Structure 1
Amino acid sequence: MQCGKSKTKKKDQSIPVSSTKDIKSITLKEEKTPGCYFKARHALALMGFLGLFNVHAMRNNLSVAIVAMVNNTGQDVAPTNQSNICPDKGANSGSMASSNGVFNWDPMQQGLILGCYYYGYVITNVPGAWLARRVGVKKVFGGSMFLSSIITLVSPASVYSSVELFIAMRIILGLFQGISSPVLIGVWASWAPPMERSILISVVLSGSSFGTCVTLPLAGVMAETLGWEAVFYFTGGCGLLWTVFWFLLIHDTPNQHPRISDQERKFINESIGLNQHKDQKVHVRTPWKSMLTSLPIFGIVCSHFAGNWGNHTLLTMLPTYMSTILKFNLSASGFLSSLPYLLQLLVINLGGYFTDVVRNRRITSTVVIRKLNTTVGLAIPALFVVLAGYVGCNAAAAVAFFSLSVGMNELTVPGCKANAMDIAPKYGGIIFGISNTIASIPGFLAPQVTGILLQDSNSLTQWQTSFWISAGVYLAGALIYLLFGSGVEQPWARGEITHKKQDTSKVEAELVTLQARRCQTDRHQIN
């Protein structure tokens, strides 16, 4: 280890690094385990990926299903500018016409129904991360997914009962799923070597893109052929199946894992100092005040909020745009709406991989690569979401621009969203929970803003206004992160020890010794 440190000092003269832990992790090499190529941490990343796949399948199934649920012909909402209406591409013919729903919800009600999930979602981000630190990720995330699956399965019955009950069920679904991303970020404090953080976090969070990419086209086909109820039954059933494998395969730390190799356990523990920081006799106070007043965290929160605003605007409303403006049928609408998330899946994993390559080779500092990823991940989406609104009825150009906007947005994952693990590894889950809480506000606010804009006129002009709002939020978030982003572990992130238990066996031994000495003294005085 001393030899390794002397080598890294020479490199420090040219390229700065974020912390001494990063230097140590560069010098450490994992010993090969004969016959073992798929590591325990890779299994955790895969299950986290599939977990977020199911989270987003249950969250986004409504974005497509609502097109089949709503009775569009029964609405008295006509576009005021007929020149903005594109030629029909099957939206009003064949199976699409026969799939016209039974619920008479106007655009504002649809915006409320699509966004109400996030009323519950924003509440449980921070409490979920806090609870996972004490109870364990396995129980917290597994339990929330089990309950989420049950709620999804009973959703069709609830909406037929009353729209108010359906909204309540969606809010409760958000409550259970709000813990998902923070706990799956926080678990890497115990599992991820510092130089693998970006790719491992990117792989897990890419499950959200994959879930959306698969759900949108599949839900369109299922709603058109089997009925929209089948969408909820299928996504809820997949969630239950995943829960079984999660409880069988996953463990909270490398030291608790019964099947991990000794080589991998040693490598993880040494690279992140797990043995040094997991002293069960030491209680560390969570630095809430420092976190809430930290400028680097403020930068993370603002850029995360900005990325989510545009992402949620398109995620919840793009199927509606494809169906009502570009006039595609339900199946085509779901498929075309999924294409941006296919690109998103590619960008997030390639971005995470190359970010770790840059950090490992020390081409530039951590803060520079985080800021570069975040700026590109917000500026390019701002440009293309605006352009998409001005291509008129050119469906190919619109899909291409939407894809670039949504796809490039995922560079914020190896950018600002992974940054919490750089500035405060111990509290990465809690910080992401704080950030994700505020960044989830666009989940219910963005669809409602778009719904209000479309209330009087479902036209391209109104959609363009929505896209301009998204672009402005994107650019504001990029600017704030450039000003306040950091890649260095913050002084408060080491934690403040508030109580340290004494070894009871030593205390008892000292009491016995003291009592024996007193007895000897008493005997001496008597004699």
Structure 2
Amino acid sequence: KARYVLAFMGFLGMFNVYSLRTNLSVAIVAMVNSSGESDVNSSNVCPDRGQTSSDTANTNGIFDWNSAEQGLVLGCYFYGYIVSNVPGAWLARRYGIRLVLGIAMLLSSIITLFTPLAARSSFALFVALRIILGFFQGVSFPTMQGAWGLWAPPMERSALISAHIAGSSFGTCVTLPVAGVIADQLGWEAVFYVTGGVALLWSCIWLAIIHNSPSVHPRISEQERTYINDSIGVEKYKQEVLAPIADLASTPYVKLKLLTTRTPWLSMLTSLPLLAILTGHFASNWGNYTLLTMLPSYMSSILKFDLSTSGFLSSVPYILQFLFTLVGGYITDVIRKRALTSTIVIRKVNTTLGLAIPAAFIVLAGYIGCDVAAAVAFFSISVAFNALTVPGCKANTVDIAPKYGGIIYGMSNTLANIPGFLAPQVVGLILLDGNSVTQWQTVFWISAAIYLTGAIVYLLFGSGEEQSWA
């Protein structure tokens, strides 16, 4: 079925988005020369677990960046990312998902292929290229979220949204260990060549087979087209949403509708249910990005694993997150179809579990010393349960405003990705005073506090009803 093909391609697309995003988290361990670091910037609490065998490769990198500079490099991607979310959603609504996401990923893959050259040229050029990469990739999630306003029957929304978002977890759990092996065996440059090449291939396939809506898809069955359009009431707002995509604006009436239809920005910005979504999304991403960007460094500097092992262990939580995202979305839709509870109740249950449990276990992970099994287990529980925010507050955008789902998700994703650059830099500044267990405990407590704030705000103000302004 065409909507499942879109979900699968969206899954692979988000795989590539996160592959291009997280490749640096592992590669940077091999890129940076840490042989000259003083004792204050290293931890000797835990015994060596294979790090010595790769000391020459991992400490004699060619870049002399301190922890603050590394935090900037890891986070600067999000300076560009947050800028393009809302414009990307608007472009996708105006020109369709096929061109917007396809061209953005095509340019992202080319940028990634040139990353090693930029890094060797200058620090400033490397940072600039990562910012540009983030700018092009910022359109990805709002574009896919908006697509489901046209493609997803209401009772399949949680599962279809979860399916494409699960690609981000899968991309992380594959990229972290594979990038570690590639960096160990072929050098850090190869990490960017491989991930960039895979993304380039995906972009070409996407542009070849994906179409903007059921109404313009040449190969969709008439049965599926009718089912989707009837279930979401597409005829009711065809002129507002489909006309720019399907070239339906040929009559004076439709042209007038397009000219008089306005996005209700003020109503959106003053909506408490939207505020609740923004806060929950922000909280979810703060903890997620803290671990996504810094976990390989924690495994290497505190638990003393070599690069390949650090990458593998760092990927374990995201394997579980991938499974939780898919299963959570499926179970949520089953509950909604059977009317076991209201939409907002299941959204709030998912969001609470997805923020409160991660808060508890990320703190506990900082107090288990050198127990590797416990560390991996606690980080895994924290990251896995965070996935329940996908069928929770993150899917809620389509509930409260189906027509503006992409734009609202763009707004939410813009705010929620500020932690992408802020969290690594906060961690980098904390670690300037010493890369010790105590400093990392501070990092984890900050994440827990933000998690709990997001859960409380969403519980108080979240809504499952379509808003009057939508």
Q: TM-score range by the shorter chain?
A: over 0.9
Structure 2 Cα separation of the partners of residues 328 and 76 of structure 1: 19
| Match among 331, 345, 349 for residue 326 of structure 2 | 349
Q: Distance in 2 between matches of 1:79 and 1:333?
A: 18
Query: Partners of 1:135 and 1:57 in 2: how far apart?
Result: 26
**What residue number does 1:425 align with?**
402
* 1:406 and 2:366 are equivalent in the alignment: no
Distance 1:435 1:276 in 2: 26
Amino acid at match of 2:449: G
What displacement does 1:78 show?
A: 2.6
- Partner secondary structure for residue 64 of structure 2: coil
Any conservation in 2 of the 1:96–1:224 contact (CA below 8 Å)? Answer: no
Partner of 1:108: 68
Which structure 2 residues correspond to residues 38-77 of structure 1 after superposition, within 5 A? 39-76=1-38
Q: What is residue 249 of structure 2 aligned with on the other side?
A: none
Match of 1:94 in 2: 53
Give the whole-Å Cα distance in 1 for the aligned partners of 2:317 and 2:411: 27
**Alignment partner of 2:80 out of 120, 130, 155:** 120
Q: Deviations over 1:321-369 (max 9, x none)?
A: 0000000000000000000000000100000000000000000000000
Residue 215 (structure 2) aligned to one of 255, 259, 264: 255
Map of 1:6 onto structure 2 = none
SS at match of 1:278: helix
Task: Note if 1:159 corresponds to 2:119.
Answer: yes
Mapped pair 1:358 → 2:340: no
Q: What amino acid sits opposite 1:322 in the alignment? A: M
CA distance in 1 between counterparts of 2:266 and 2:28 reads 42
Matched residue pairs, number?
Answer: 452
Q: Is the Cα–Cα contact under 8 Å of residues 385 and 405 in structure 1 kept in the other structure?
A: yes
**Structure 1 runs (4+) greater than 3 angstroms displaced:** none
Aligned pairs (5 A) from 1:164-179 = 164-179=124-139
TM-score by length of 1: 0.85
Deviation per CA, 1:161-192, whole angstroms, max 9, x where unpaired? Answer: 00110000000000000110011000011100
Q: Which amino acid aligns with 1:97?
A: T
8 Å contact from structure 1 (residues 75, 104) kept in 2: no
Q: Using the alignment, how far apart are the partners of 1:336 and 1:167 within structure 2?
A: 27
SS in 1 for 2:464: coil
Tell me whether 1:290 sits opposite 2:267 in the alignment.
yes
Letter in 2 for 1:251: H
| 1:9 corresponds to | none
Aligned partner of 1:232 in structure 2 is 192
2:445 to 443, 448, 468: 468
Alignment check: 8 A CA contact 1:389 1:460 kept: yes
TM-superposed CA distance for 1:248, in Å, is 1.1
Give the aligned partner of residue 490 of structure 1: 467
Q: 2:98 maps to which residue?
A: 138
Counterpart of 2:248 in structure 1 is: none
* One-letter amino acid of the structure 1 residue matched with residue 35 of structure 2: T
Deviation at 1:98, TM superposition (A): 2.8
The one-letter amino acid paired with 1:94 is: S
Sequence identity, in percent? 65
Question: Equivalent of 1:197, from 136, 153, 157?
Answer: 157
Displacement of 1:77 in angstroms is 5.1
CA contact (8 A) 2:30 2:57 kept: no
The whole-number CA distance in structure 2 between the counterparts of 1:299 and 1:77 is 44
Partner of 1:323: 300
Letter of the 1:458 partner, please give it: N
Counterpart Cα distance in 1 of 2:237 and 2:292: 40
Match of 1:340 among 314, 317, 327: 317
Distance 1:376 1:324 in 2: 30
Q: Do the aligned partners of residues 94 and 173 (structure 1) sit closer, same or farther apart at CA in structure 2, a change above 3 Å counting?
A: same
Question: How many Å separate the matches in 2 of 1:116 and 1:140?
Answer: 23
Distance 1:126 1:454 in 2: 34
When structure 1 is superposed on structure 2, of 319-328 and 268-277 the one drifting more is 268-277
Q: What is the rounded CA distance, in whole Å, between the counterparts of 2:101 and 2:456 in structure 1?
A: 34
2:225 maps to what in 1?
A: 265
- AA paired with 2:196? G
After TM superposition, list the pairs within 5 Å mapping 1:384-399 onto structure 2: 384-399=361-376
The separation in 1 between residues aligned to 2:152 and 2:325, in whole angstroms, is 18
Shift of 1:74: 2.1
The Cα offsets for residues 455-506 of structure 1, whole Å up to 9 and x where unpaired, read as 021000000000000000000000000000000000110xxxxxxxxxxxxx
Letter of the 1:147 counterpart: L
Q: Map Cα deviations across residues 136-184 of structure 1 (whole Å, 9 max, x no partner).
A: 1100000000000000000000000001100000000000001100110
Question: Distance between the aligned counterparts of 1:138 and 1:483, measured in 2?
Answer: 37
State the alpha-carbon separation in 1 of the partners of residues 92 and 146 from structure 2. Answer: 8
Contact 1:209 1:345 in 2 (8 A): yes
Residue-by-residue CA offset, 1:431-463 (whole Å, 9 max, x unaligned) = 010001000010001011111110021000000
Contact 1:96 1:330 in 2 (8 A): no
Question: What CA distance in whole angstroms lies between the structure 1 residues aligned with 2:35 and 2:357?
Answer: 37
2:147 corresponds to:
187
CA contact (8 A) 1:420 1:428 kept: yes
Unaligned runs of 5+ in 1: 1-38, 494-527
- Using the TM superposition, give the Cα deviation of residue 45 of structure 1 relative to its aligned residue in structure 2, in angstroms: 0.2
Structure 1 Cα separation of the partners of residues 96 and 138 of structure 2: 16
Give the whole-Å Cα distance in 1 for the aligned partners of 2:236 and 2:366.
54
Say whether 1:435 aligns with 2:397: no
Secondary structure at 1:74's aligned position in 2?
A: coil
**TM-score, with length taken from structure 2:** 0.95
Structure 1 counterpart of 2:68, which letter? M
Separation (CA, whole Å) in 1 of partners of 2:22 and 2:342: 37
In the TM superposition, what is the alpha-carbon distance from 1:79 to its structure 2 partner?
4.6
Write the distance in 2 (CA, Å) between the matches of 1:97 and 1:381: 36
Question: In structure 2, how many angstroms separate the alpha carbons of the residues matched to 1:239 and 1:338?
Answer: 20
* Aligned equivalent of 1:223, options 172, 177, 183: 183
Q: Distance in 2 between matches of 1:96 and 1:117?
A: 28
Aligned equivalent of 1:23: none
What is the CA-CA distance between 1:96 and the residue it aligns to? 4.2
Task: Check conservation: 2:41, 2:431, Cα contact below 8 A.
Answer: no
Q: Is the Cα–Cα contact under 8 Å of residues 32 and 58 in structure 2 kept in the other structure? A: no
Give the CA deviation at 1:274.
Answer: 1.1
Structure 2: state its 5+ residue gaps.
Answer: 244-253
